[in-house]
Structure 1
Amino acid sequence: MTDAPSDRITAREFHDTDGVEDWRVLLATAQTLFRTGSFTAGVELVDAIGELAEAADHHPDVDLRYGTVTVRLTSHDVSGLSRRDVELARRISDAARELDLRADPAAVQELEIAVDALVGPTVQPFWRAVLGYDEDANDTSAAPALTDPATHAPAFWFQQMDAPRPQRNRIHVDVTVPHDVAEARVTAAIAAGGHLVSDDRAPAFWVLADAEGNEACVCTWQSRD
């Protein structure tokens, strides 16, 4: 089933629709969190969501934790929200109520990280390599935003600076990876325009920086005892 372009809706249209009071629009998704109280109750809800998703041929992202289930709805074929998201949101809320589970939509959030850059296309490849991310296919800018291919970690985007900041950056990113891919990740980041700041604590972590000095550490579990 494919949405027609007219089926795409705005965030306002989503929130103005009856039956979606459990949900909140964040970026291009409709999200909610259900308080389940136990892992077993969460599994029951996820099972119910799976059946509804298959019946609708529309599949949300579902995050099952002890005590909570978070659901994210979007329509990738229209790069945003559609009427299908409204319908599935209503059905998921109904299923949760049948299981006597409470929605807590105030608990959802999305995190993005912005890297200030004078020349975005120069620093973006470093971050793509060090994070193992993909470019956002919908971003046509010179330095496209980066997203986690596993959809777990926050997106990175690049903010144009109008003047250099020569002082050392006061925030950096720690990227913890499996120990057997760490050196390859470091090598890829350097090849993408970054440089090694320090490997004094390797293999616990390597300190790297992009072409403008923004730092990232590639970390593992090793040598931390």
Structure 2
Amino acid sequence: MVEPITPHEFHAFPGVEDWRILSTGAACYFATGSFATGVKLLTRIGELADAANHHPDVDLRYSGVQVRLRTHEVEPDGWLSARDAELAAQISAVARELGAAADPSRVQAVQIAIDALDIQRVRPFWAAVLGYAPFLDEDVTDPGGFGPNMWFQQMDAPRPQRNRIHLDLYVPGDVARSRIDAAVAAGGSVVRDNGPNWWTLADPEGNEVDVAPWPDIS
């Protein structure tokens, strides 16, 4: 059984100074300066991960690599275990060898929050239109880990003067219709039909999302 550790316990491990704890786990951004160096770092991370049988999420871009670590076996009690700290230290050491400096200012996690009177009525719409999956009691999350987490905050009464949320969702042209149909089946409605360029959908409480094919099929 894998035991969770606290953020304080994580930071007590030697060699993890580059890392920051977020709602998504432990994260670090390494500025590589070139795609070639990023590929080298990614390769080394893959070797370390396979050796530890513990695999992070890695985002490779032209000038940097972002790594996120979390232990799924300890959810929902916590996101971290000693396995994360040990692998984090090894990854940082490899990054230093390759001259990839850590930049904590580039690390962040984005979450979308929606106030809702009836969370269990609203949540299926957002899971359907975004292709997400329910998570815990008040969230939906991207199964692939690419999009931001969405959290639904319980309201006691309507707040008509409060800003309403609006999202723009760009999807492939051959996906748009199935997403729209799934969202409507989950309790949503089409409030503006500007097809084939975009469609504005609303959940049961009026929160809106524009679904636009990408690339534009017009």
- What TM-score does the superposition give when structure 2 sets the normalisation length? 0.93
Match of 1:33 among 4, 29, 50: 29
Alpha-carbon separation, structure 1, partners of 2:162 and 2:27: 38
Q: What is the DSSP-based 3-state SS (H/G/I as helix, E as strand, rest coil) of the residue aligned with 1:156? A: strand
Map 1:86-97 to 2 at 5 A: 86-97=85-96
Q: Which amino acid aligns with 1:76?
A: H
Q: Which string of whole-angstrom CA distances, capped at 9 and with x for unpartnered residues, describes residues 122-169 of structure 1?
A: 111111111110111xx1x3xx31011111000111111121134695
Structure 2 unmatched ranges of 5 or more: none
Equivalent position of 1:134 in the other structure: 133
Q: What is the DSSP-based 3-state SS (H/G/I as helix, E as strand, rest coil) of the residue aligned with 2:60? A: strand
Match of 1:218 among 196, 200, 211: 211
Q: Which amino acid aligns with 2:203?
A: D
For the pair 1:77 / 2:70, whether they are aligned, the reply is no
Q: What is the DSSP-based 3-state SS (H/G/I as helix, E as strand, rest coil) of the residue aligned with 2:174? A: coil
Q: CA deviation at 1:204?
A: 1.2
Q: Which string of whole-angstrom CA distances, capped at 9 and with x for unpartnered residues, describes residues 99-122 of structure 1?
A: 121011221000000111011111
Equivalent position of 1:12 in the other structure: 8
For the pair 1:160 / 2:154, whether they are aligned, the reply is yes
Q: What is the DSSP-based 3-state SS (H/G/I as helix, E as strand, rest coil) of the residue aligned with 1:181? A: helix
Alpha-carbon separation, structure 2, partners of 1:132 and 1:101: 35
Moved segments of 4+, more than 6 Å? none
Q: Which amino acid aligns with 1:214?
A: N
Q: CA deviation at 1:16?
A: 2.5
RMSD: 1.5
Q: Which string of whole-angstrom CA distances, capped at 9 and with x for unpartnered residues, describes residues 183-210 of structure 1?
A: 11111111111111010x2111100101
For the pair 1:186 / 2:185, whether they are aligned, the reply is no
For the pair 1:119 / 2:118, whether they are aligned, the reply is yes
Q: What is the DSSP-based 3-state SS (H/G/I as helix, E as strand, rest coil) of the residue aligned with 2:179? A: helix
For the pair 1:44 / 2:32, whether they are aligned, the reply is no
Alpha-carbon separation, structure 1, partners of 2:24 and 2:59: 17
Q: What is the DSSP-based 3-state SS (H/G/I as helix, E as strand, rest coil) of the residue aligned with 1:180? A: helix
Alpha-carbon separation, structure 2, partners of 1:109 and 1:19: 21
Q: Are the counterparts in 2 of residues 168 and 213 from structure 1 also a CA contact under 8 Å?
A: no
| Structure-2 change in CA distance of 1:186 and 1:28 (3 Å) | closer
Q: Are the counterparts in 1 of residues 24 and 109 from structure 2 also a CA contact under 8 Å?
A: no
Q: CA deviation at 1:223?
A: 5.1
Q: CA deviation at 1:33?
A: 0.3
Q: Are the counterparts in 1 of residues 173 and 217 from structure 2 also a CA contact under 8 Å?
A: no
Q: What is the DSSP-based 3-state SS (H/G/I as helix, E as strand, rest coil) of the residue aligned with 1:164? A: coil
Alignment identity in percent? 56
For the pair 1:202 / 2:166, whether they are aligned, the reply is no
Q: Are the counterparts in 1 of residues 171 and 211 from structure 2 also a CA contact under 8 Å?
A: yes
